[in-house]
Structure 1
Amino acid sequence: MRQDHQHYHTDLAAVDDRRLNPSQAADLDTIINRSRRQVLKGGLALAAIGLFGGGLLGCQRSPGTPGSAPLLGFTGVAAQTAADFDQVLVAEGYSARPFFSWGDAVLDNAPAWLDDASQDWQAQLLQAGDNHDGMHFFPFEDAPNTHGLLVINHEYINPTLHPDGLTFTHLADGRRQRPVDQVRKEQAAHGVSVLEIRRDAEGQWQRVAGSRLHRRISAMTPMAIGGPLAGDLRMRTASDPSGTEVLGTLNNCSMGVTPWGTYLTCEENFHNYFVNRDAADHATRPTHQRYGIGQDQHSAYYAWESVDPRFDATPDPAVEYQGHVNEPNRFGWVVEIDPFDPDSKPIKRTAMGRLGRECSVVSLGDDGRMAVYSGDDARGEYVWKFVPDGRHDASNPSASRHLLDTGTLYAARFDEDGHGHWLPLIWGQNGLTEDNGFADQQAVLLNARGAADILGATPMDRPEWVAVHPDSREVYVTLTNNRDRGSRFPVDAANPRANNQHGQIVRWREANADPAATTFEWDVFLLAGDQPGALDADGQPLPDNLIGNIQGDIFSSPDGLAFDGAGRLWIQTDSDDEAAHTVNTGCNQLLCADPQTREVRRFLVGPRGGEITGITWTPDYRTLWINVQHPGISYPASDGHSRPRSTTVVITHDQGKVIGS
């Protein structure tokens, strides 16, 4: 037997970046012909600057119009390329301070965090989880800009969670064994934190002691299964024969907020937690194959199955429902949480489809119809929206509580002429039949990726966050990167670069600005990357695939995305800041863009090794929170030796102005 320890750095980001779409490589002639058609239409530059020559955007705002103040009212900060950069740098006139870090108290009886990470899983259940990601500020009506709930996702864990990293014992049969206390602590560090916070007389935000609203939701929290899959045979396991209740939520990346005041947390790369060692059985299960459930010790990154049998999806014919073979089917959903009711049970909304979902962003029409947009964050996956059957009634918000349990799921097809179609995932239509492996609508929702393959949705370059413009309802999506573009997936107008290391942002307008429309027009808002003429670390010109068309400050790998109330587009990045292709973009960043002029300005830079993610404001937009996930050196202590901690950062203007103005 051998014991290994994984220390501060982890390669889980690389694991998350596995290609799961089985689409085969386009042949060279196909790629050349696609490129030739682009050139005939004006070249890839045409796609990059907008297929409609700038006519797509119709933002209804006064900032930036002649005679008014520019939309971007701050001085940008420089990129930070030093290997030892270990702080948060924010634009002049602003202050950024650590507010809520991994291990900080959530519940009142939480012990103080210890720098040696020696606290057990019971303590972790009372404290902030790891790897802060998507979040939202829910204001209280009586003091909306000074008092509210801050709800924060905890996506996964770093080896820093334990004093000496993750411990594995390698057994003779090739399996790995984990210490039970480590696994329990890791499960406790996943999920969601709910904090009641208030701004004090000195203008500083503080956690409110004694609040009954503080809550920790983890990978062990009981949750209801709602919608079409509730009670379905394919959701039943030995531990839940009813198929109506699941323990926990996993890999909570980004999120959304409903018009009726609930929080939608999204389960992204859940496949990393499961294993099915039965190759013959695995071959018969599309929901295992298409979603990346692996067959060996390397697929279940944390080896939780060695302690918790529900993460072993290998069938056991001797046990009811073959043991836990269906447990992976119970993850990959949107989970609705009522942050104002700490006794409420979270609900997994299965009508919205099962994905490696990054976000669930709502666009609400004037008539109460709504769309919920999502990216599916893996190379070659799709952009989605869900349209509920019912309408939201603002005068009776409680009536919308189960609006997400019925509706239509769509996958996007981005045509090369700048038009697009939403392809409905409806059983019995367009090849979604029993002959193609879909026995019913529930099967379609369980294997939404496979259904979209058949429908001909456009494989995208890792779709991430979605943002909806507050006035025009134009929709933007970040496409982080895709090194398989041009080899496994053909170059196309929406994904115009082979070996796409830097990513792009695509936007569209629904027909008649109707969230429920089935057609749209789209363009590429920008291609991320270096400016023309940029050089690498050796002073040599960079290849064309690393050159973008950003009008302003450069960045790599857009990820987080959100609009503020004035129509500023805020962009967060998740690049590998130690890779050769990021030598000039440096550490990850928060930037701000003007959707009309396309100008991009760098507002904030984070510490080396950390992703910048999660973004929310007070209603007056004078307080901003962002997250620094998995910093690599010692942030927020920034002393060069302390254990790094994922941290929520609070940002204000020194004179109390609106952020970014």
Structure 2
Amino acid sequence: MTHSTSSDFHQRLASYDDEAINETQEKSLNNIAMSRRDVLKGSLNAAALGFLGLNLSSRLAFAGDNALPPAPYIGFQHIQPRTDPLFDEVVVADGYQAKAFFSWGDPVETGATKWKADASNSWQEQLKQAGDNHDGMHFFAFPNDNNRGLMVINHEYINATLHTDGLSYDEQGKRLLDDVKKEQAAHGVSVIEVKKDSQGEWQRVYPSLYNRRISTLTPMKVSGSLTGHDLFKTVSDPNAIEIIGTLNNCSNGFTPWGTYLACEENWHNYFVNHDKKDYQSRVSHKRYGISTGKQDNYYGWSTIDKRFDATPDDSLPHQGYVNEPNRFGWVVEIDPFDPQSKPVKRTAFGRFCRECVAPAMAENGQLAFYSGDDTKGEYVYKFVPSQRFDKADMQKNRDLLDEGTLYVGRFNDDGTGRWLPLVHGNEGLTAENGFPSQAEVLVNARAAADILGATPMDRPEWATVNPHNLDVYVSLTNNNKRGKEFELNAANPRPNNRHGQIIKIMEDQADPAATTFNWSLFVLAGEKAGSTDAKGQPVPAHLVGDIQGDIFSSPDGLGFDRDGRLWILTDYDDEDPVMVNMGCNQVLCANPQTQEIKRFLVGPRGCELTGITWSPDYKAMWVNIQHPGLSYPASDGQTRPRSTTVLITKNDGGVIGT
């Protein structure tokens, strides 16, 4: 029996996630000879806002109106970085408090077993408990009751600490079936009810009829043009109508009709195709970096669960599970208020390593959802539904996400840009080039974007939309291959980009359906000019940013509050010598007009800060501490660490950030 420790597992997984797969260098059928240099009007329906718990301000910009709302006030005093290698707490700005609210192993469904500190809970018990590695999340208020709501929280992947002895393999190199099932149970989504108690404190409600776990073992409906398609058929689902499970749910989105959108990010890490010749010829495998067996599939699930072995088997119908990877990488719509509802994979959104689907909506009901493809050298996308949101008929909107246009972004060096439609028949997306129908375009969205000449970006991650003017902010977290494998350009201007940047997109006429936009760099993350490294040497120029305020690296999570403050959450390796001045990962607050940035919260050593949501009155904020490295939330230096949702409140009961 062999075992993999948590640190081994994270180091191995992080290196795989950083691999660049895009080999196109932005050359395409329609731009080889072309130079690369070549409002919201009103507010969302009040009832929908109340239902979603968004509570956005009514002080909104009008299309064509250059007047901006007053600059949002950032009222707290910034805190210093935490560089202690044994730092194992959450610290927040003076006047605030932060406490653990919901941790891996906490009870979710009725009858859940108590979490065991030695990680000896069975997979059946894990199915009713909070999953691992909390990530994107959203608060949904109950109608007419802002003191009660449902929180929906993604569980992206698992830590080796999920098991008593880490990830184990038997003498034949196979994973243990019960261990794999526990890992599959720890993926997915939690829905938990929360409410204010008599003292005005937010508490979890347990048991609750709404509490629910969704995992890699949960049946899901297929919706959109891939329903019944040959590309989705497998030996266990010959009709291509039901997919078992969702996994690697990173960031998220939501809809104005009150549903949650979970995004499947690095799903390719779970599959293997041992037939290297087939792999080379199969775009849906190669363009996404599915393993060919050198390191197996990182988790080793295929050694015991054949569904994750995508090697073609001609002795089985539909060649066994060769199409199973095609069934992941989608947006999963979940109705949190109906615990009996079946999650739906919406295939019109396209398939890639999707980080999020940030919504924007104009007064006329026109929607768009913005996404990053979280791999070095990949693209920024948006999906525009064909029909507009109808606030008078909520039921009519239920299948609105099945039809629409997926676009990919081209960022010109002059600060303009275009959304290129990923539509069969458009600009080389034809059968001659491997796209005989729209289904192939959607399954192989990356390859389609290559042909159109989209701009390879520095690991696009979260997007968020300013509620006051519909400006879109996208975090480009880092790319140490920029300048080597990917050309420099105005949107991605730094070689060996270790610290990343945030880009701002301004749609033409603030129209979510616009096909042209302007863009600018909101901030280049990194060190202050004149800083020194751990050895006392001057920091190289490519590590210097232009931050007006507190330094940070690798922006990842993003979110706007109702007053228009931009919140930034970071994800970098805090043991990397380059990050010595950054300290542990952090949450910062930015003024989008003045670009002032202040550090608000610092997490424990080894963690990523991710996921952010608020109560309807914005007097409570939740963020996630993912994969803490020492013993948080116990912080005793001994207890097994647990990914945790943290509740932040202001001591005087005021709005967060003021």
TM-score category of the 2 structures, normalised to the smaller one: over 0.9
Structure-1 residue corresponding to 2:304: 307
**Conservation of the 8 A alpha-carbon contact between 2:26 and 2:455:** no
Cα gap change, 1:289 to 1:170, in 2 (>3 Å): farther
Cα gap change, 1:524 to 1:285, in 2 (>3 Å): same
Cα gap change, 1:275 to 1:57, in 2 (>3 Å): farther
Structure-1 residue corresponding to 2:159: 158
Q: 1:326 aligns with which of 323, 328, 336?
A: 323
Q: Amino acid of the residue matched to residue 167 of structure 2? A: L
Q: 1:418 aligns with which of 415, 419, 427?
A: 415
Cα gap change, 1:25 to 1:484, in 2 (>3 Å): farther
Q: Report the alpha carbon displacement of residue 63 of structure 1 after superposing the two structures with TM.
A: 4.1
Give yes or no for the alignment of 1:269 onto 2:266.
yes
SS at match of 2:115: coil
SS at match of 1:505: strand
Cα gap change, 1:25 to 1:370, in 2 (>3 Å): closer
1: CA distance, partners of 2:111 / 2:446: 43
SS at match of 2:377: strand
Superposed CA deviations along residues 217-252 of structure 1, whole A, max 9, x for unmatched, are 000000001000011001000010010100000100
**Conservation of the 8 A alpha-carbon contact between 1:101 and 1:647:** yes
Describe how 1:649-660 pairs up with structure 2 within 5 A: 649-660=646-657
Q: Amino acid of the residue matched to residue 350 of structure 2? A: G
SS at match of 1:264: strand
SS at match of 2:635: coil
Structure-2 residue corresponding to 1:3: 2
**Conservation of the 8 A alpha-carbon contact between 2:25 and 2:487:** no
Describe how 1:17-416 pairs up with structure 2 within 5 A: 17-23=18-24, 60-64=68-72, 71-144=73-146, 146-169=147-170, 171=172, 176-416=173-413
Cα gap change, 1:395 to 1:25, in 2 (>3 Å): closer
Q: Amino acid of the residue matched to residue 149 of structure 1? A: L
Structure-2 residue corresponding to 1:450: 447
**Conservation of the 8 A alpha-carbon contact between 1:57 and 1:596:** no
Cα gap change, 1:622 to 1:59, in 2 (>3 Å): farther
Superposed CA deviations along residues 25-69 of structure 1, whole A, max 9, x for unmatched, are 99xxxxxxx99x99xxxxxxxxxxxxxxxxx996732245xxxxx
Q: Report the alpha carbon displacement of residue 169 of structure 1 after superposing the two structures with TM.
A: 3.3
1: CA distance, partners of 2:369 / 2:649: 30
Superposed CA deviations along residues 574-624 of structure 1, whole A, max 9, x for unmatched, are 011110111101110000000000000000000000000000001110010
Q: Report the alpha carbon displacement of residue 395 of structure 1 after superposing the two structures with TM.
A: 1.7
Q: Report the alpha carbon displacement of residue 641 of structure 1 after superposing the two structures with TM.
A: 1.1
Structure-1 residue corresponding to 2:464: 467
**Conservation of the 8 A alpha-carbon contact between 1:25 and 1:487:** no
Cα gap change, 1:549 to 1:222, in 2 (>3 Å): same
**Conservation of the 8 A alpha-carbon contact between 1:276 and 1:312:** yes
2: CA distance, partners of 1:59 / 1:314: 58
Q: Amino acid of the residue matched to residue 101 of structure 2? A: F
Runs of at least 5 residues in structure 2 that lack an aligned partner in the other structure: 28-34, 39-63
Q: Amino acid of the residue matched to residue 6 of structure 1? A: T
Describe how 1:511-522 pairs up with structure 2 within 5 A: 511-522=508-519
Cα gap change, 1:553 to 1:531, in 2 (>3 Å): same
Q: Report the alpha carbon displacement of residue 396 of structure 1 after superposing the two structures with TM.
A: 1.4
1: CA distance, partners of 2:641 / 2:534: 28
Q: Report the alpha carbon displacement of residue 76 of structure 1 after superposing the two structures with TM.
A: 0.6
Structure-2 residue corresponding to 1:45: none
Q: 2:585 aligns with which of 588, 612, 622?
A: 588
**Conservation of the 8 A alpha-carbon contact between 1:57 and 1:595:** no
Q: CA RMSD in A?
A: 1.7
Superposed CA deviations along residues 432-467 of structure 1, whole A, max 9, x for unmatched, are 111111111100000000000010000000000001
1: CA distance, partners of 2:421 / 2:441: 11
2: CA distance, partners of 1:231 / 1:59: 50
**Conservation of the 8 A alpha-carbon contact between 1:59 and 1:596:** no
1: CA distance, partners of 2:483 / 2:4: 37
Structure-2 residue corresponding to 1:435: 432
Cα gap change, 1:302 to 1:57, in 2 (>3 Å): farther
**Conservation of the 8 A alpha-carbon contact between 1:274 and 1:328:** yes
SS at match of 1:380: coil
Q: Amino acid of the residue matched to residue 467 of structure 1? A: T
Superposed CA deviations along residues 522-542 of structure 1, whole A, max 9, x for unmatched, are 000000000000100010001
2: CA distance, partners of 1:425 / 1:57: 31
1: CA distance, partners of 2:378 / 2:302: 27
Q: Report the alpha carbon displacement of residue 178 of structure 1 after superposing the two structures with TM.
A: 0.4
Cα gap change, 1:152 to 1:57, in 2 (>3 Å): farther
**Conservation of the 8 A alpha-carbon contact between 1:8 and 1:158:** no
Q: Report the alpha carbon displacement of residue 397 of structure 1 after superposing the two structures with TM.
A: 1.7
Q: Amino acid of the residue matched to residue 94 of structure 1? A: Y
Superposed CA deviations along residues 63-93 of structure 1, whole A, max 9, x for unmatched, are 45xxxxxx11110110111101100000000
Q: Report the alpha carbon displacement of residue 140 of structure 1 after superposing the two structures with TM.
A: 1.1
Give yes or no for the alignment of 1:639 onto 2:640.
no
Cα gap change, 1:236 to 1:623, in 2 (>3 Å): same
**TM-score, normalized by length of structure 2?**
0.93
SS at match of 2:178: helix
Q: Amino acid of the residue matched to residue 21 of structure 1? A: N
Worse-superposed segment, 374-383 or 3-12 = 3-12
Q: Report the alpha carbon displacement of residue 366 of structure 1 after superposing the two structures with TM.
A: 1.4
Worse-superposed segment, 647-656 or 11-20 = 11-20
Cα gap change, 1:450 to 1:234, in 2 (>3 Å): same
2: CA distance, partners of 1:15 / 1:206: 38
1: CA distance, partners of 2:65 / 2:643: 36
1: CA distance, partners of 2:553 / 2:207: 42
Q: Amino acid of the residue matched to residue 605 of structure 1? A: V
Q: Report the alpha carbon displacement of residue 170 of structure 1 after superposing the two structures with TM.
A: 5.7
How many residues are treated as equivalent by the alignment?
624
Q: Amino acid of the residue matched to residue 315 of structure 2? A: A
Superposed CA deviations along residues 259-283 of structure 1, whole A, max 9, x for unmatched, are 1000000000000000000112112
SS at match of 1:443: helix
Cα gap change, 1:59 to 1:656, in 2 (>3 Å): farther
2: CA distance, partners of 1:337 / 1:212: 16
Q: Amino acid of the residue matched to residue 189 of structure 1? A: A
Cα gap change, 1:59 to 1:268, in 2 (>3 Å): farther
Structure-2 residue corresponding to 1:46: none
2: CA distance, partners of 1:59 / 1:479: 28
Q: Report the alpha carbon displacement of residue 108 of structure 1 after superposing the two structures with TM.
A: 2.3
**Conservation of the 8 A alpha-carbon contact between 1:254 and 1:465:** yes
Q: Report the alpha carbon displacement of residue 24 of structure 1 after superposing the two structures with TM.
A: 5.2
**Percent identity among equivalent residues?**
58
1: CA distance, partners of 2:267 / 2:592: 34
Q: Amino acid of the residue matched to residue 19 of structure 1? A: A
Q: Report the alpha carbon displacement of residue 627 of structure 1 after superposing the two structures with TM.
A: 0.1
Cα gap change, 1:616 to 1:586, in 2 (>3 Å): same
Structure-2 residue corresponding to 1:532: 529
Cα gap change, 1:177 to 1:58, in 2 (>3 Å): farther
Structure-2 residue corresponding to 1:502: 499
1: CA distance, partners of 2:418 / 2:532: 40
SS at match of 1:283: helix
Q: Amino acid of the residue matched to residue 461 of structure 2? A: E
SS at match of 1:409: strand
**Conservation of the 8 A alpha-carbon contact between 2:71 and 2:594:** no
**Conservation of the 8 A alpha-carbon contact between 1:589 and 1:612:** yes
SS at match of 1:357: coil
